[in-house]
Structure 1
Amino acid sequence: MKDLFFSFEGRINRAKYWLGNLGLILVEIVLYNIRADMMRNLGFSMAGIVISAAIRIVMIWPYVAIGVKRLHDRDKSGWWVLINLVPVIGNLWYLIQCGFLKGTEGPNKFGPDPLAEAVTWLRLAAEQGHAEAQFNLGLMYVRGEGVPQNFAEAVTWFRRAAKQGHAEAQFYLGLMYVRGEGVPEDWAEAVNWVRLAAKQGHAEAQNNLGDMYYYGQGVPWAYAEAAKWYRLAAKQGDAEAQFNLGGMYHNGEGVPRDDAEAAKWYRLAAEQGLAKGQYNLGWMYANGRGVPEDDAEAVTWYRLAAEQGHAEAQFNLGGMYHNGEGVPRDYVQAHMWFNLAGSAGYADAVKLRDAIAATMTPDQIA
């Protein structure tokens, strides 16, 4: 078996040649069904394409091996030996096609686009007045998935769903007015739709409505009203709202100043991975505001934020290493964090980085 299918040496008679080809055809049929089932499960993902292409590559070898061995017996071979080139060329053509497949991140040139099919079904439901379908069809137009990106068309479908009381559609329609996408920028109209979603308990809309009151966008500036909406969203676990409410308590805006309450809300946001919440909580520990002063704990939270690219956290973490606060003094680490903060545009970090570099060896800097 090994000599027949995987070696180019020797000769084979006509009977072995045809039996070998018949066997390969049967294997191709089995593999075709396996590939078809796999592509149904994986779609036109990169994994599906790579696995399918690998199977094709494996199948080229035995066809060539049989053909070459038969050609060694040229005085007994006819033109039909070239039939082996058919599956070889077919497999090669498939591999060429794989180079043009874009996978799930874009339309598929050599197969149906599942996103376009999804749009077809969504449109049928949306045109019958199904609010969830209308909202999702709007999302497809916003993202350009299955259809060309078209903000105006997205607004049309968001509006239809929003008028039926779909909270997510109301929120997204408000955002379209904020950004001026598909409609003229209109903060008053944005507030109207975001408020409708917020009143239905949509946490992100509540946080955004809080922002509108905090910055006076589309509504009169009102810290107390901002704090009210931040709190509603924060209680639902919205990390941005938790951070914002913490800031209100930290600065005494719309609520009495309360560092302990500020630290509480910063912590909730920080524990969800929000970098600015982690930084602020680290600052609270470093300065003993609302929590007992604890440099080691400050370093922990600064590091989490710094690793996400938060420049101020990188700068402060560099300072902790530079001064040996909460960690052993380490100029190499200090230089690294100051350098990262400086690269993000933090001017003070550049000065400290350069000052430390003057005392370090080239190996330490590297």
Structure 2
Amino acid sequence: MSGQSILGYVRPDGRVGIRNHLLVMSTVICSSFVARRIADQVQGAVAIENPFGCGQLEPDLEITRRTLVNTAKNPNVGGVLVVGLGCEQIQADDLVREIEKTGKPVEKVVIQEEDGGTPAAIEKGVRLLRKMAEEVLSQRPEEVDMSNLVLGVECGGSDATSGLASNPVVGYVADRVVDLGGTVILSETPEMIGAEDILANRAVSREVGERIVRTVRRWVELAASYNVDLVGTQPAPSNIAGGISTIEEKSLGAIIKGGSRPVQGMVDYAEEVRGKGLWLMDTPGYDIMSVVGMVAGGATLVIFTTGRGTPTGNPIAPVIKVTANPQIARKMRENIDFDASTVILGQETIEQAGERLFKLVMDVARGKPTRAELLGFREFMIHKIIPSF
């Protein structure tokens, strides 16, 4: 026990969430409209509009399936309605069977099975979800130990202030969470290029270290197979405009947000993280895909640093936006939750700003909404590797 508590929803499988969403999840893009219309009519519901689910080959089909199932299993979700079309590769029944293992309520609607098509499916879905809401939304959060928190850390639209201030401040918070018995997930494998040996040297075993190096280098080789020099195309133009000169510089600034504690292991994209401490997840650097992967992996809260100003959120996990760029903190003040420019301006140390951010994390984990939640940012995109067929 850490001695510090948050407000959590204890699920039947023992996992603890800090939000209590009803999730309406489409199995395929063809059922996304119906899923959205159902969610819009029920209080407490959010929709995930899956852009894939058909025309996919392995391993992309498995990535999509794993992402959908594990997102539904995330303890920020109290109940799930699966909306299928009927003829897609990822069938509603298969998802329902997996999600039911958590013990949370799960229902399904399949459009092609309804007499009346999409209007009938929407009507049935609303009816099922409202009944589910009576059970799920009546649950009240309870005091739980801070060690139940699973924190994802992300950066997007980085500039020089990201590596100098905002990411180190987040890294301070990551260490605090780990020291209190919690879990931290660091992702964006392409943004570890040039810094993989540092992470490997912090691994708890030789096997973990070797996997880190092997996984990072696979991304370079994948780009090379398409005649793309990944090292030569990074950093992105916006990063360069913000003062970042090389991919190594970008990576060194990026990995700091994971803190300094030992790396316990590395998991695949959207794979559930089952241990405590600091974990790496193999994801692309594309912000939305990366955040979706970590949330599917179990992250119940995400800290997202941005030097250039990125407003995106997530359907089921609160996203805390941090910037150390004074101009962005001022211009995008309605999107930014935490201003770390005080470090750049010499008004605070990293530790002092870190304590302030840690307090905000605790507040959000006790129910305080983030700007992304208040403004309705709920972006969702699943990683894919090969073309659709």
TM-score category by the smaller chain? under 0.3
The two structures have a TM-score, normalised by structure 2, of 0.20
Would you tell me which structure has more helix in proportion to its own residues? 1
The two structures have a TM-score, normalised by structure 1, of 0.21
